[in-house]
Amino acid sequence: MKRALVGLTVLATALVLGLVLAPRGDAAEKGPIRIGLLTSKTGVLAIHGTHQMAAVEAFKDKYGTTVAGRKVEFYPEDDQSKVPLGVTKVRKLITGDKVHIVMGGLFASTGYAIAPLGDQYQTPIFVWSCPDDLSQRKRYKFVVKYFSCSQPQHAMAHWLRKNKPQVKKVIIFGPDYAFGYESSGGFQKVFEDMGGQLSFSAAILNDLGDGLVISCINGRQEARTYAKPVQRASSPYNLSPEEQEAIRLALAGVGR
């Protein structure tokens, strides 16, 4: 968990560098890189807030507090796991602390609430909870997210349809807020869309077994495509039976 959070911190810092080091008028902005961190030190998400702060310290231990000749400063704020307070804290980080980017929003509902502030103040907001609609029906120019809440459930529904076709009904338990709705909805959509033979896998390999395998899930309204790297006929990622068969057929020369 901490390693993933460190990676996101590095990504956010790189995004800020691209913004603040770009020339504006006669010269690029100088001074420290200010990163606002909306975390939850108290409340139901306190454990995740602890991970966030540990990631910041791990970032400092590994990369120091200077990047590309610029000092990096973090401005943590506790939203106490409360959505309205999160909005207040983000506004304070942007207008009061003058941060270059805000990271945070562990509740999907918090992500939806703070997203409009990015466009209002033209300040990038890196939403950690990744609500689906922030890249669909409620897009914002200054909001960045790295995946969607429902995405992990796409793979689960796909696996269930391919490996347990006799299963026709599924009961889903989820939290009664945005994250739960979107996770459950993602599972339901893929499960229902795959009622027929609506997916395929294809491997593109050289003679050494290096290349990639592509899987496509075709639904009634959209298609999702996934690619996994292949080296020597194996992948660092788990391969479905269909993907393994695609690799076997490619190595055998079928389809050439």
220 within a domain of the structure (yes/no): yes
Buried b (16+ CB within 10 A) or exposed e, 190-214: bbebbeeeebebbbebeeeeebebb
In a shared domain, residues 7 and 134: yes
Which CATH number goes with the domain that contains 37?
A: 3.40.50.2300
In a shared domain, residues 131 and 62: yes
CA-closest candidate to residue 192, choices 221, 152, 229 = 221
Q: What phi, psi does 133 have (nearest 5°)?
A: -70, -10
In a shared domain, residues 181 and 139: no
Distance of CA 130 to the CA centre of its chain: 6
In a shared domain, residues 188 and 215: no
pTM for the predicted model, two decimal places: 0.62
132 within a domain of the structure (yes/no): yes
Q: Which domain holds residue 228?
A: 199-251
Are the CB atoms for 251 and 233 separated by under 8 Å? yes
In a shared domain, residues 230 and 181: no
Return the amino acid letter for 181. Y
256 within a domain of the structure (yes/no): no
113 within a domain of the structure (yes/no): yes
Domain count, the chain: 3
Distance separating alpha carbons of residues 197 and 204, to the nearest angstrom: 22
In a shared domain, residues 68 and 165: no
In a shared domain, residues 35 and 158: no
Give, for 89, the enclosing helix (H) or strand (E): helix 83-95
Last residue of one domain, picked from the residues 144, 163, 185: 144
Query: Residue 196 has which token pair?
Result: 């027929």
In tens digits, the chain (256 residues) has pLDDT values of 445 555 555 555 555 555 555 554 444 567 898 999 999 999 988 998 888 888 888 888 887 888 778 888 989 999 999 999 999 999 999 999 999 999 888 888 898 899 999 999 999 998 887 788 887 777 889 998 877 788 888 888 888 888 888 887 788 888 887 788 888 888 888 887 776 555 678 999 998 999 999 988 766 566 678 899 999 999 999 888 889 999 999 998 865 6
Last residue of one domain, picked from the residues 144, 159, 176: 144
In a shared domain, residues 30 and 122: yes
